[in-house]
Amino acid sequence: MKDKKEKMKSKVIFTLAFVLAVMSICLAFASGAYLNLCLKYGEKVRYSLCNPDMTDSEVCQAVKGNCYNCVFIGSSGAYCPASPNRCNALGLPCTYLSSGGGGGGGGGVSSTKINITRISSPDNNAVYNARRVAFDMESNIPADWFYLNSDGTWKKICREEAVCNKEISFKDGENSVIIKAVNTNDESDFQEKSFTFFVDSKKPRIGKTYPKRGFASGTFTAEFSEANPTSLKLYYADKVTEMNESEIKSKCSLLDLGKYSCDIDVDISSYNNQDINFRFALTDIAGNSVESRETTVSVDTTPPMINSITHTFDGRYVYLSMDITEANIKEVRMFDPLVGYDKKLCSRLNDAGLCEKRLRFGLGSHTITIQATDKTGKSSGQDYSFVI
Confidence of residue 39 (pLDDT cuts 50, 70, 90): confident
pLDDT score for 146:
96
- The top-level CATH class assigned to 116-199 is mainly beta
Mean of all residue pLDDT scores within the chain: 86
The answer to whether the beta carbons of residues 74 and 45 sit under 8 Å apart is no
Half-sphere exposure at residue 364, Cβ-oriented, CA atoms within 13 angstroms: 7
The domains spanning 116-199 and 205-299 adopt the same CATH topology:
yes
Tell whether the model's pLDDT for residue 24 goes beyond 60.
no
Distance CA 267, CA 257 (A): 31
DSSP for 312-379? EEETTEEEEEEEEE-TTEEEEEEEETTTTEEEEEESS--TTSEEEEEEE--SSEEEEEEEEEETTS-E
Distance CA 294, CA 277 (A): 6
For 305-387, CATH number out of 3.30.2350.10, 1.10.1740.10, 1.10.510.10, 2.60.40.10 equals 2.60.40.10
- Whose CA is closest to 135, among 184, 173, 169? 169
CA distances from 269 to 92, 213, 265, 322, 381 (A): 96, 18, 12, 26, 22
pTM over the 0.85 mark:
no
pLDDT score for 4:
53
pLDDT score for 82:
92
Tell me the CATH number for domain 205-299.
2.60.40.650
Confidence of residue 73 (pLDDT cuts 50, 70, 90): confident
Task: Give the residue with greater pLDDT, 270 vs 101.
Answer: 270
> Which range, of 12-16, 142-146, 298-302, averages the lowest pLDDT?
12-16
Confidence of residue 62 (pLDDT cuts 50, 70, 90): confident
Confidence of residue 11 (pLDDT cuts 50, 70, 90): low
- Domain range summary for the chain, segments of one domain joined by +: 33-111, 116-199, 205-299, 305-387
Tell whether the model's pLDDT for residue 18 goes beyond 90.
no
Q: What are phi and psi of 49, to 5 degrees?
A: -80, -25
Confidence of residue 46 (pLDDT cuts 50, 70, 90): confident
CA distances from 96 to 143, 145, 285, 338 (A): 18, 23, 53, 108
The arithmetic mean of pLDDT across residues 79-94, rounded, is 90
Bridge pairing between strands 116-121 and 132-148: antiparallel
